[in-house]
């Protein structure tokens, strides 16, 4: 049977100061060797409005582009539509070709 015992001993000021310096040095050594964990790079998600603003289009156009698979697939998070920022930014040049201006005929 293994038992653990705690032994309490009174410390005088000198012993307390020595123990404090031992702990201080040990902590210093550990902190000097500490390497923080690398941050995880998670994709940033954009809302529908943020995505439309990046493309400079309306929400209706964004919906049409999404239905016609002209932009990257949407992701649903907690029932909300999101787009991956990196995927959207990668398609910025190709979507410029999709925009068109209506021609207005000048009859007079």
Q: CATH number of the domain that 73 lies in? A: 1.10.1660.10
Query: What is the reported pLDDT for 41?
Result: 61
Question: Nearest 5°: phi and psi at 84?
Answer: -75, 125
- Mean pLDDT score, 3-26: 84
For residue 10, being part of any structural domain is answered with: no
Is 36 contained in some domain? no
Domain range spanning residue 80? 45-94
- Residue range 1-14: mean pLDDT, rounded: 76
Would you say residue 102 lies in a domain? Answer: no
Residue 20 lies in a domain: no
4 or 76, which is more confident? 76
3-class DSSP state for residue 80? Answer: strand
* Structural domain total, the chain: 1
- 42-68: average pLDDT: 91
| pLDDT given at position 65 | 93
pLDDT of residue 8: 74
Residue 69 covered by a domain: yes
Query: In this structure, are residues 51 and 88 in contact, taking their beta carbons and an 8 Å threshold?
Result: yes
- Residue 47's pLDDT band (cuts 50, 70, 90): very high
* pLDDT beyond 90 at 45: yes
Position 1 in a domain: no
Count of C-beta atoms within a 10 Å radius of residue 104: 6
| Confidence band for 108, pLDDT divided at 50, 70 and 90 | very low
């Amino acid at each position: 049977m293994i038992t653990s015992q705690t032994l309490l001993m009174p410390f005088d000021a000198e012993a307390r100061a020595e123990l404090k310096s031992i702990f201080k040095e040990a902590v210093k050594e550990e902190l000097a060797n500490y390497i923080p964990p690398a941050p995880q790079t998670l994709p940033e998600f954009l809302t529908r409005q943020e995505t439309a603003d990046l493309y400079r289009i309306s929400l209706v156009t964004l919906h049409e582009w999404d239905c016609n698979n002209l932009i990257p697939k949407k992701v649903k998070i907690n029932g909300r539509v999101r787009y991956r920022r990196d995927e959207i930014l990668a398609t910025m040049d190709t979507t410029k070709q999709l925009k068109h201006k209506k021609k207005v005929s000048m009859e007079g």
